[in-house]
Chains A and B, each alone.
Chain A
Amino acid sequence: MILPIILAVYAGPEDRALIERLKRRDPQALAELYDLYGRMAYSLVLRVVRDKAIAEDLVQETFLRVWNRVHSIDAEKGAIGPWLLAVARNRAIDYLRSSEGRDRNVAVEWDETEHAPLYREMEAGILLSDQVRRVKAAMDKLAPNHRTVMELAYFEGLSQSEMSARMGQPLGTIKTWVRTALQSLRDELGVAVSP
């Protein structure tokens, strides 16, 4: 229980070496990657699919995918944790969509958000920092409807149109809720995305 946390604290500075070793096909590097992010990826996938056996299968697929595509991430500036989590989320949502018979590509191109070169120059070890707690606190503070749309977007991969249908609310209302929820998160994190 404690070991992943201890490892996590030191993960940031070692990401570069870890990526290089993964690119050299060092299986021990994959073991270390799993020790750092395996539990987090599993927790995320389980939250999406809500089935332990399926979640484990999807996490295995995630690590295999990262292993097979690690050449595409920048060893110098790449942020392997956020990238791995994006791959895990996409695998889980892809499964969810497929099992629910939802169209997998109506408005969403999942692979686009797991494009490794996008994950560059992020804060080292961001997933292992205090920011996670701050985001969780910010999510808890959201109004119920705002939190619901965030969870539907993140953990179920619903587009705003799909949320509108699911929640029986006009699309304009959903867009407002999403916009407000995102703004609250930005404010909480002090991220100056909007002017």
Chain B
Amino acid sequence: MNCDQLREHYELYALGIAEEPERGEIRIHLNRGCEVCGAGVKRALETTALVGATAPPAQPSPQLRRRILASVGSERKTLWWIPVWAVGLATIVLLMILNGSLSSTSARRAREAAQLREQMSVQTAEIARLSEAFAILSGPSTTEASFGGQQPRPPHGKVFVNPSRGVLLIASNLPRTPADKIYEMWIIPKGAKPVPAGLFQSQDDGNAMHVRPGTVDLASTAAVAVTVENQAGADQPTTTPLIVAALAR
């Protein structure tokens, strides 16, 4: 579909209610950097945000700000600032809870638990990623390859490939990607097209660790590479690799 055919769907896309095939087509246009659709969707997102800002004004409780800051570790849960009347009120509320007077308690607890799960899921994912990395590093059948040795200011590091556990990339000196770009790793089979192996970002200090779990056929793998791609990733590399680690087999 061309941009003219998609114009009327920009707002629906921005609202999250565009249907196929238009939604997929707009995504394709955006991923390939289409300026017409990019500008159209941006305007639609502006309008959508403005509609959101027209909701009837309401005032959250003062505790919400404190809760949010506490959830990122900014405010410690000290009690010295609580006035006497608040302590009394809290006591009454506590008694009401104990008496089962607040019927919504369990629902609220459930939501709080959901928030904690959101926080924990980030940490759990990180732990899982480190476990996968460790399994690859410690596997007896792991093969390693270095990259970046000959370049003047290279991203450098190592790739570890374990046939049964997957591929681990550890890199340093990676340049910061533009905001709408991301690194994509590729497993390159001998005589065949590169296979996408996941997206990742480098940290502010230029370091990165990326794991692609799963089996790898070492005998038919020529190299592991990394390119810079659009945020959604690509099916095939669209830029020159800035990392190529050839596997010596």
On A, residues with C-beta under 8 Å from B are: 23, 27-28, 30-31, 34-35, 38-40, 42-44, 46-47, 52-57, 59-61, 63-65, 67-68, 71-78, 81-82, 85-86, 88-90, 93, 107-110, 112-113, 115-123, 126-127, 131-132, 135-136, 139, 150, 153-155, 157-161, 178-179, 182, 185-186, 189, 191, 193-195
> Do B49 and A127 touch (CB < 8 A)?
yes
| Chain B 28-60 near chain A by CB (<8 Å), digits 1 or 0 | 001000000000111111111111111111111
Residues of chain A lying within 8 A (CB to CB) of residue B178: 74
> Do B47 and A61 touch (CB < 8 A)?
no
Q: Is B90 an interface residue (CB 8 A)?
A: no
A76 to B52, CA, bound (A): 24
Nearest chain-B residue to A68 (Cβ)? B122
Q: Which of B7, B17, B27, B59 contacts A160 (CB 8 A)?
A: B17
- Among A59, A118, A189, max chain B CB count under 10 A is at A118
Q: Which of B47, B73, B119, B231 contacts A135 (CB 8 A)?
A: B47
> Do B201 and A71 touch (CB < 8 A)?
yes
Q: Is B23 an interface residue (CB 8 A)?
A: yes
Residues of chain B lying within 8 A (CB to CB) of residue A121: 42
Q: Which of A28, A54, A107, A189 contacts B111 (CB 8 A)?
A: A54
With known contacts A28-B74, A64-B118, A127-B49, A39–B180 Cβ distance under 8 A: no
Residues of chain A lying within 8 A (CB to CB) of residue B238: none
Q: Can you name 14 A-B residue pairings with CB atoms under 8 Å?
A: A35-B65, A38-B60, A39-B57, A39-B59, A43-B57, A47-B56, A53-B111, A55-B60, A72-B201, A86-B49, A113-B14, A113-B16, A119-B45, A132-B50
Q: Which of B19, B45, B72 contacts A82 (CB 8 A)?
A: B45
Tell me the number of A-to-B contacts counted with CB atoms below 8 Å. 203
Residues of chain A lying within 8 A (CB to CB) of residue B8: 179, 194
> Do A27 and B74 touch (CB < 8 A)?
yes
Q: Is B179 an interface residue (CB 8 A)?
A: yes
Q: Is B216 an interface residue (CB 8 A)?
A: no
A-B CB proximity, top 5 nearest: A74-B179, A27-B74, A82-B49, A47-B55, A117-B180
A160 to chain B minimum Cβ distance, whole angstroms, is 7
Q: Is B1 an interface residue (CB 8 A)?
A: no
> Do A158 and B17 touch (CB < 8 A)?
yes
> Do A153 and B74 touch (CB < 8 A)?
no
A57 to chain B minimum Cβ distance, whole angstroms, is 5
Q: List residues of B (87-120) whose CB comes within 8 Å of A's CBs.
A: 104, 108, 111-112, 114-115, 118-119
> Do B60 and A78 touch (CB < 8 A)?
no
> Do A67 and B72 touch (CB < 8 A)?
yes
| Extra 9 A-B pairs, beta carbons < 8 Å, given A86-B48, A122-B46 | A53-B111, A68-B122, A71-B201, A108-B16, A118-B42, A123-B46, A132-B53, A135-B51, A193-B43
> Do B42 and A108 touch (CB < 8 A)?
no
Residues of chain B lying within 8 A (CB to CB) of residue A123: 46
Q: Is B247 an interface residue (CB 8 A)?
A: no
A150 to chain B minimum Cβ distance, whole angstroms, is 7
A59 to chain B minimum Cβ distance, whole angstroms, is 6
